[in-house]
Amino acid sequence: MRTLIITCLLVIGITYTSSAQKIAPYIKIGESSNSVEQISEEIQKALNTHSFEILGTYNPAGKSNLQVIVFTNDILKNTVVKVSDRGALAAAVKVGIIQKDGKTTVSYTNPDYILRAYLRDNYTSFQTTFEQFSKDVKIAFEGIGTEFMPFGGAIEEKKLKNYHYKILMPYFTDPISLNEFTSFEEGMKIIEKNLTAQKGQSKEVYRLVYPEQKIAVFGVGLASPEDGEEVFLPIIGEEHVAAMPYEIILQGKEVTMLHGKYRIALHWPDLTMGTFMKIMSTPGDIEDTLKEICTE
């Protein structure tokens, strides 16, 4: 009898483990001998052909061997904004291109990973829509590569909605307030002016504005040679370049950002604590830069 019980428990344990599906933050499309510029043109053409909207492109850290292309479509951006708690942050999907050792690798942020993390319990309400979006993205990129291999670490599906790196570390629900304005319009005016002036050595990569909902998302490149992408990306891994740019979100009168200790860990979930400690000042540096952008 005891042997039977133990056997049953083992079977249950094995079943549970196998059902605990893990999701990776990125999907590798493939590799090519073509240049970054050539691959970028191919990707943008593929996105346009399949009715995706390109929001912006840039070279993180100012490096010509790195490029990010940010895109969305009407279905995704009009669905995620229905989630009132910063759902619009999930509207942008990013392609990362990196040239290294004579080969150019192309990947993109896994929509399923980001949507589950940012929308949390709301994900299931729109799951069918999101699954179709992921299929449409893959179809668009089938002419670019054939691998479609997940990489970059992995988090259990059920844990993404409450993800945090370690105990006492922040969650999605612990955003940092960058400023509060007298109105949405004032916030837009100040942020636009500061991004145009590249305040804090910043670079506007994209913006996504919902005028009726009074919501705006800005993707911001961090160009400071002292504490920007040039400093932290080589330490934590340029292979995850599709994690950039960093976002701020203006909702009504308040502009916020995801805590660096949450957002960096989410996009680099396989970071060791030792490596994380090497960029200990980075979350604060990013916050300082983004606050400059949001201050008169």
Mean pLDDT of 77-104: 97
pLDDT at position 158 over 80? yes
**By percentage, how much of the chain surpasses pLDDT 70?**
94
Same domain, yes or no: 33 and 119: yes
Digit-coded pLDDT (tens) for 247-270: 999 999 999 999 999 999 999 999
Sort strands 202-210 and 93-100 into parallel, antiparallel or unpaired.
Answer: unpaired
pLDDT in tens, 30-89: 999 999 999 999 999 999 999 999 999 999 999 999 999 999 999 999 999 999 999 999
pLDDT at 201 over 50: yes
In a domain, 169, yes or no: no
Cα torsion 129, 143, 93, 71 to 10°: value is -100
Q: How high is the pLDDT of residue 103?
A: 97
Q: Which helix (H) or strand (E) holds 146?
A: none
The CATH number for 109's domain is 3.30.310.70
Place of tokens 């942050």: 89
* Residue 190 and residue 141 in one domain: no
Are 37 and 80 within one domain? yes
pLDDT value of residue 17: 41
Q: Measured at the alpha carbon of residue 258, what is the angle toward residues 257 and 260, in degrees to the nearest 5?
A: 110
Q: Is there a single domain that holds both residue 37 and residue 132?
A: yes
Q: What is the pLDDT of the chain when averaged over all its residues?
A: 94
- The confidence score (pLDDT) of residue 20 equals 76
Do the domain assignments include residue 264? yes
Contacts of 233 (CB under 8 A, 6+ apart): 60, 61, 66, 241, 244
Among 12-26, 155-169, 281-295, the range scoring the smallest mean pLDDT is 12-26
Same domain, 154 and 239: no
In a domain, 202, yes or no: yes
User: Peptide bond before 245: cis, by omega within 30 degrees of 0?
Assistant: yes
The last residue of one of the domains, among 104, 129, 162, is: 162
Give the mean model confidence (pLDDT) for residues 155-159. 96
Residue range of the domain that includes 245: 176-293
Residue 36 covered by a domain: yes
Q: How many CA atoms lie within 13 A of 12 on its CB side?
A: 6
- Reply yes or no on whether the pLDDT at 6 is more than 70: no
Q: Say whether both 157 and 32 belong to one domain.
A: yes
Residue 113 belongs to some domain of the structure? yes
Q: Are residues 114 and 192 in the same domain?
A: no
Does one domain contain both 127 and 85? yes
CA distance 130 to 141: 17
Taking the C-alpha atoms of residue 147 and residue 107, their distance in angstroms, rounded to an integer, is: 10
Q: Kindly state the percentage of the chain with pLDDT values over 90.
A: 93
pLDDT at 68: 98
Same domain, 145 and 258: no
Tell me 109's DSSP state: E
pLDDT at residue 2, as a whole number: 52
pLDDT at 4 over 70: no
Q: Looking at the 3D structure of the chain, how many domains does it have? A: 2
Q: Are 195 and 143 found together in one domain?
A: no
Residue after which a domain boundary falls, among 162, 187, 208? 162
* Same-domain status, 133 and 217: no
- The residue written with tokens 């969305």 in the block is 72
Helices (H), 20-161: 36-49, 74-80, 111-119, 127-141
Looking at the domain assignment, is residue 171 inside a domain?
no
- Domain termination residue (choose one: 162, 185, 204): 162
* Residue 29 and residue 133 share a domain: yes
